[in-house]
Amino acid sequence: MFNLFTKRLILYPYDMLEFEKQMISYFTHDDFKCDVNDGLVLLEFKPDIVHGSLNDQKDKLLDLFCIPIETFGYRNLISILKIKNDNFYIRLDLRCDDDEQLFLKYFCSVMIRAFKKVERKSKMK
């Protein structure tokens, strides 16, 4: 059990780095807007639909940002997700002031850093 826990702790930073890279590549294309303000991230983009539909991607995004918390529950970081004119409008709430939720706090800080990179790229267009 302890070995499994140690292995997870060692691999976790690499998994987060890979997740961050995938998010940046997914969210940086021509028709994309990103604003980060005090832990709130506003995204507007036209999704690249290769497989499935807009609703399929919507469900996948909702699942992706549903993060386990230490009280054996989940917190979905997406507070608003709308589809309008084939564009996604997403508001992520990455604020976490609860010192008891260490995993959530770390995940949110990594995501804020990643979305600040995305924001810089989106404003350079």
The mean of the pLDDT values for the chain is: 81
* Full-model pTM: 0.77
Which spans in 35-101 are helix H?
Answer: 54-64
What's the pLDDT tens digit per position in 30-77? 678 899 999 999 999 887 666 567 788 888 888 888 888 877 788 999
64: burial class by Cβ within 10 Å (0-12, 13-18, 19+)? middle
The percent of residues above 90 in pLDDT, for the chain, comes to 20
Model confidence at 1: pLDDT above 60: no
What's the pLDDT tens digit per position in 81-120? 998 888 889 999 999 988 888 888 888 988 898 889 888 8
Longest pairwise C-alpha distance within the chain = 50
For residues 29 and 45, the answer to whether their CB atoms sit within 8 Å is yes
Give pLDDT, residue 51. 59
